[in-house]
């Protein structure tokens, strides 16, 4: 079942988005017109009372969104892995010494060479899903790969290899 988010206009303040969790807790985010955001947890017995109000800086709000987005994507990949025997997911870091820093995903030819697919890249707390062949790697990127054990090992070897032409 898909979660339902309710949007409530707060005249003079901004907007509030509420989510009712499966366990019966209501949580929300108040986005003030000033740009400030508050994470709120409502009282279980009184839906109009707030148990906790946590102000978030822009960086904190972005980090929280990235954590939730990345963990959702990775849990969905894990669920897919459970459904397909032999299919694995792995995160492969791009080190500063990788020959592919500044080069494109297409340059790696990883799918052709290994049968494994790069399905996302984690960069600076941002999830870049389904990167195309023109996507350029940067040092510190973490590549999310789906494939067999040998395919994942192959991608790791390619991204760390001293001979990027393969």
pLDDT tens string 21-37: 888 888 988 888 888 88
Q: How far apart are CA 130 and CA 127, in angstroms?
A: 10
Q: Which of 32, 81, 86, 74 is nearest to 57 (CA)?
A: 32
Domains and CATH numbers, the chain: 5-56 (no CATH), 75-160 (3.30.70.1450)
Q: What is the pLDDT of residues 46-94, one digit of tens each?
A: 877 888 999 998 888 877 777 776 555 555 565 655 556 667 888 899 9
């Amino acid at each position: 079942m898909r979660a339902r988010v309710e949007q409530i206009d707060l005249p003079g303040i901004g907007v509030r988005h509420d989510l009712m969790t499966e366990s019966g807790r209501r949580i929300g985010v108040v986005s003030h017109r000033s740009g400030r955001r508050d994470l709120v947890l409502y009282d279980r017995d009184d839906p109009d009372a707030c148990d906790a109000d946590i102000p978030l800086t822009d960086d904190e709000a972005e980090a929280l969104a990235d954590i939730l987005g990345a963990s959702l994507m990775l849990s969905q990949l894990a669920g897919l892995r459970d459904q397909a025997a032999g299919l694995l997911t792995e995160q492969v870091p791009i080190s500063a010494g990788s020959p592919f820093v500044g080069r494109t995903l297409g340059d790696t030819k990883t799918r052709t060479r290994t049968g494994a697919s790069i399905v996302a890249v984690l960069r600076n707390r941002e999830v870049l899903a389904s990167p195309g062949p023109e996507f350029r790697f940067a040092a510190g990127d973490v590549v999310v790969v789906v494939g067999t054990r040998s395919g994942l090992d192959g991608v790791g070897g390619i991204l760390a290899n001293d001979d990027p032409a393969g």
